[in-house]
Amino acid sequence: MTDEAMQGFREWYGRQPTGVWSAPGRVNLIGEHTDYNDGYVFPFAIEQRTAVALGDRDDRVIRVSSSFAADPVQIHLDELAPDAVEGWSAYPLGVAWALGEFGADLEHVRGVDLHVTSTVPIGAGLSSSAAIESAVALALDEHWGLGFDRPTLAKVGRLAENRVVGAPTGIMDQSASLLSEADAGVFLDCRSLDAEVIPLGFTADGLSLLVIDTRVEHAHATGGYAARRASCEAGAHALGVESLRELGSHDLERAAEVLDDETFRRVRHVVTENQRVLDTVRTLREQGPGAIGPLLDASHVSMRDDFEISVPELDLAVATAQAHGAIGARMTGGGFGGSAIALMVDALVPVVTREVLAAFAERGFREPIVFPVRPSQGARRDA
């Protein structure tokens, strides 16, 4: 993938790049729609990565090209602004703009040429966008000598996503992409931004985590995601708290009295999901990964029934995996499409894969893409 990025760079720009950086996509083990409620999440990086080859320039122009879009885009550094970029270039150029918002002196840097390649499936709920943002943020930070730490680079990526791409997402995906380590998950408190890297031990315990990409496409810049976020904010406001993070299960009785049924169920998802993240971390430490299944299952039920962000394809993927011996399964990511995950003993991988494909065919759903993922290292310089 490093070679591909370098070769693509040479083809587009006719010279050698000065460096290559990469950042991974992610799977969220548990903690969904909790990040923008100041709550807890527990994602990990996957092996699929986005690589960025960078070469310096003598002027103040930034050019971006990629292996997946037809034309390169260019802009003068003085013209960078949220509404000055569009299409996929909003991700890399949005990051360049956002670095300036965090205090980088963009008036005194020179331009760059960037070439992006990726193996993170797009629209699969595996954070292909955070992978681009994180790789570009790390590359520009190092090339321009900005000295931002990784939690700050995660915020830079989120700002690009919120203001330039226009998706009102939280901090989880960029944090997973920047902070992950091999065979571990990132337990992140989204209020303090304290992050703890916790070994998952899947391989040692003979477990595999399967991703089932339903190929139902979703976009968080429009529709349901923003509506869920608004419901959470309305619920917090009605209950007199700054964020839903401040509520525990003992508050749910009062919430049921104060809120309309729909808002109550949105709130209940967030409150119980935060608890499930804490329980997952504790269970993992005390009993190992083989014991976290019921928490994954309960998370899916909560997203399906209370938060209402699942779709029939995700429900079928989860139910089929569970029926054929998975330890636990749930949809992962923002919802309305994308992927489910299922944890199982290694030997069940071919069985569950076969059964999921058969179940989708029988229901007349589009053929899903099923593959195991391994918790992998976060963003890094590769060359």
Residue nearest to ligand GLA as judged by C-beta position: 334
| Angstrom distances, CA of residue 14 to CA of 55, 61, 111, 228 | 11, 17, 16, 47
Q: What 3-state DSSP class applies to 341?
A: strand
Q: Which is nearer to ligand GLA, 77 or 244 (CB)?
A: 244
**33 makes contact with ligand GLA (CB under 6 A):** yes
Which listed range, 28-36, 252-260, 288-296, 319-327, lies at the site for ligand GLA (CB under 6 A)?
28-36
CA contacts within 13 A on the Cβ side of 21: 24
Stretch that binds ligand GLA, among 140-148, 167-175, 255-263, 289-297 (CB under 6 A): 167-175
Q: Which of 333, 368, 375, 378 binds ligand GLA (CB under 6 A)?
A: 333
Q: Which is nearer to ligand GLA, 215 or 220 (CB)?
A: 220
Q: Which of 6, 35, 93, 210 binds ligand GLA (CB under 6 A)?
A: 35
Which of 382, 352, 381, 379 minimizes the C-alpha distance to 156?
A: 379
Asked if residue 25 binds ligand GLA (CB under 6 A), the reply is no
* Active-site entry in 38, 173, 213, 306: 173
Degrees, nearest 5: CA angle 308-222-256: 35
Task: Pick between residue 36 and residue 44 the one whose CB is nearest to ligand GLA.
Answer: 36
Q: Is 32 in the site for ligand GLA (CB under 6 A)?
A: yes
Distance CA 233, CA 228 (A): 9
Q: Which of 66, 117, 152, 169 binds ligand GLA (CB under 6 A)?
A: 169
The smaller minimum CB distance to ligand GLA, of residues 126 and 200, is found at 126
Question: Residue 71 carries which side chain, given as an amino acid letter?
Answer: D
Q: Which is nearer to ligand GLA, 11 or 194 (CB)?
A: 194
Question: Are the CB atoms for 348 and 360 separated by under 8 Å?
Answer: no
CA–CA–CA angle 52, 212, 281 (5° rounding):
80
E strands, 82-220, where?
112-118, 184-189, 195-199, 207-213
Tokens of 5: 């990025």
Contact flags string 116-155 toward ligand GLA, x per CB under 6 A: ----------------------------------------
Asked if 179 interacts with ligand GLA (CB under 6 A), we say no
Q: Per DSSP, which regions of 194-345 are E strands?
A: 195-199, 207-213, 328-332, 339-345
- Residues 211, 124: Cα–Cα separation, whole Å: 10
Q: Does 213 bind ligand GLA (CB under 6 A)?
A: no
Residue 20 belongs to what H/E stretch? strand 19-30
172 makes contact with ligand GLA (CB under 6 A):
yes
User: Residues touching ligand GLA: how many (CB under 6 A)?
Assistant: 11
**Which secondary structure element, helix H or strand E, spans residue 136, and what is its range?**
helix 128-143
Q: Please list, in sequence order, all residues whose beta carbon lies within 8 angstroms of the beta carbon of residue 164, skipping any fewer than 6 positions away.
A: 82, 85, 90, 91, 93, 94, 97, 98
Selected range binding ligand GLA among 67-75, 81-89, 168-176, 201-209, rule: CB under 6 A: 168-176
Determine whether 71 is an active site residue: no
3-state secondary structure at position 286? helix
Per CB under 6 A, the list member of 9, 12, 36, 336 interacting with ligand GLA is: 36
- Six token digits for residue 40: 């807890």
Question: Is the Cβ of residue 65 or residue 332 nearer to ligand GLA in the bound state?
Answer: 332
**Cβ-based nearer residue to ligand GLA, 26 or 63:** 26
Minimum Å distance from CB 194 to ligand GLA?
A: 17
Q: Identify the residue among 24, 55, 328, 334 touching ligand GLA (CB under 6 A).
A: 334
C-alpha distances in angstroms, 114 versus 48, 57, 220?
Answer: 20, 11, 26
Interaction site with ligand GLA (CB under 6 A) = 32-33, 35-36, 169-170, 172-173, 220, 333-334
Residues tagged active-site: 173
